[in-house]
Amino acid sequence: MSKYSVIAFLFLLAGCVDHPDTATLDIPSIEQSVKSLGIESDDVVIIPLEELPKTLKELNPKEVRGTKFFVYIVLHKSFNKESGLFVAPQFGSITRFGGTGSFPEFKRVKNSHTFTFKDT
């Protein structure tokens, strides 16, 4: 394998993100922490990491951003790809959406208002 093939392979691996594993996460506490942020803006705002509640800080997020309707908790970031949690109480009974074009893929975490997301 040439050194160029190895470099190309490493770039490919570095650009991959997947849905985060939620088995060990306390989703109700995460949802309560997101609610406590009290975001009232219709426009997306970035929450400074040092201002996050303890529950969200423990996730070690790369970024937290949102509006009064939803919050993205970015857990993995690689080049232009992201994955993490998307908390959106207004999304009702939707279980899965997105994953086309440049729109992320979302999967609902069972019995919650939280989705995992990953860029496709």
The whole-number pLDDT of residue 119 equals 85
pLDDT beyond 70 at 43: yes
> What is the model's pTM?
0.80
Residue range 44-74, pLDDT digits in tens: 999 999 999 999 999 999 999 999 999 999 9
Count how many domains the chain has: 1
Left if phi > 0, otherwise alpha if psi is -120 to 50, otherwise beta: which for 99? Answer: left
Residue 28 forms part of a structural domain: yes
The domain of 39 spans 17-118
Contact 27, 112 (CB under 8 A): yes
Residue 80 forms part of a structural domain: yes
Residue 70 forms part of a structural domain: yes
Greatest C-alpha distance within the chain: 54
pLDDT, average across residues 72-94? 85
Residue 82 forms part of a structural domain: yes
Model confidence band, residue 34 (pLDDT cutoffs 50, 70, 90): very high
Determine what percent of the chain is predicted with pLDDT higher than 70: 76
The number of C-alpha atoms within 13 Å of 48 and in the hemisphere containing its C-beta is: 2
Residue 8 forms part of a structural domain: no
Segments of the chain assigned E as strands: 45-46, 63-66, 71-78, 81-87, 96-98, 105-108, 114-118
